[in-house]
Amino acid sequence: MTDAREELVARLRSQGITDERVLSAVARVPRERFVDPDHEARAYDDTALAIGRGQTISSPWIVAASITALGQGRDARVLEIGTGSGYAAAVLAECVGEVVTVERDAVLADDARALLRDLSPDVRVLTGDGVTAAAGFAPFDGIVVTAMAYRQIPPELIEQLTPGGTLVCPVGDDRQGTLIRYRDGETTDLAPVSFVPLVRGTEG
Ligand code: SAH
């Protein structure tokens, strides 16, 4: 698995990921622990994989690209929305000072919380609608959303940023959309992406 992880890092480098902190974080986090046992052989493929509950663990490239775009260091407090398997939160925790992550599906949240307690004990996992559930922990230097926001960045999230803070969020009409970075009132389109939808509220 260590060899597979090193190959993944080399592949990410060739795909344009150059931030050494992010690459060494990917090199340290055992992605095989975050995928279903059925998919373990594919844990280091550059692809999203099913994690149950109709959700997916994002591809390593999208995790690395989102965290690179966030551009936060060891003194930063970061909110992740869409804990899913917990993999991106674990990579993030290797790069920044503090991570709060929110998952709306209680089953996924409980599983991720148990795994992260073992692998990244400083990560705080909340259950709820990530757009509002972590407001009590705001402001954040960075916010990364790992589910597709419908047509716009939720304004409630911009309110949870520190002045000059950065938000990275996929925005689209359905599962296809654009990864967008927001900072100081300006947005930049980063890449075309595919994500599961950001679902508001905690029911259903
Ligand atoms: N970052 C994850 C990938 C998550 S997939 C990983 O590394 O594995 C997106 C996740 O967002 C799903 O688990 C989905 O349940 C969750 N989600 C969707 N809408 C949400 C919301 N409003 N608040 C919190 N989580 C949400």
Q: Hey, what are 145's tokens?
A: 């959303």
Pocket test for ligand 1, best of 102, 105, 168 (most atoms within 8 A of CB): 105
Q: Which atom of ligand 1 is nearest to the CA of 58?
A: 3
Q: Are the CB atoms for 66 and 88 separated by under 8 Å?
A: yes
Virtual torsion, Cα 149, 151, 155, 160, nearest 10 deg: 30
Domain segments of the chain as ranges: 61-194
pLDDT per residue as tens digits for the range 16-60: 999 999 999 999 999 999 999 999 999 999 899 999 999 999 999
**Residue with CA closest to ligand 1 atom 14:** 82
The rounded distance, in Å, linking the Cα atoms of 200 and 204 is: 10
Average pLDDT over residues 138-149: 98
Query: Which residues have any ligand 1 atom within 6 Å of their CB?
Result: 55-58, 81-82, 84-85, 87-88, 102-105, 108, 129-131, 146-147, 196, 198-200
The residue assigned the tokens 């052989």 is 41
Q: Hey, what are 196's tokens?
A: 């599961």
33: left (phi over 0), alpha (psi -120 to 50) or beta: alpha
Backbone angles phi, psi at 66, to 5 degrees: -65, -45
CATH of 61-194, one of 3.40.50.150, 3.30.450.20, 3.30.420.40, 3.40.50.720: 3.40.50.150
What's the pLDDT at 106?
97
Centroid of ligand 1 to alpha carbon of 170 (angstroms): 12
User: Residue 204: helix, strand or coil by DSSP?
Assistant: coil
Single pTM value for the model: 0.97
Centroid of ligand 1 to alpha carbon of 153 (angstroms): 15
Active site positions, annotated = 58
Give the residues across from 182 on adjacent strands: 167, 187
- If residue 6 lies in a helix (H) or strand (E), which one and from where to where? helix 2-14
pLDDT per residue as tens digits for the range 82-134: 999 999 999 999 999 999 999 999 999 999 999 999 999 999 999 999 999 99
pLDDT band at residue 203 under the 50/70/90 scheme: low
Q: Which atom of ligand 1 is nearest to the CA of 147?
A: 9
Residues 6+ apart with CB under 8 A from 140: 77, 78, 79, 100, 134, 160, 161, 162, 165
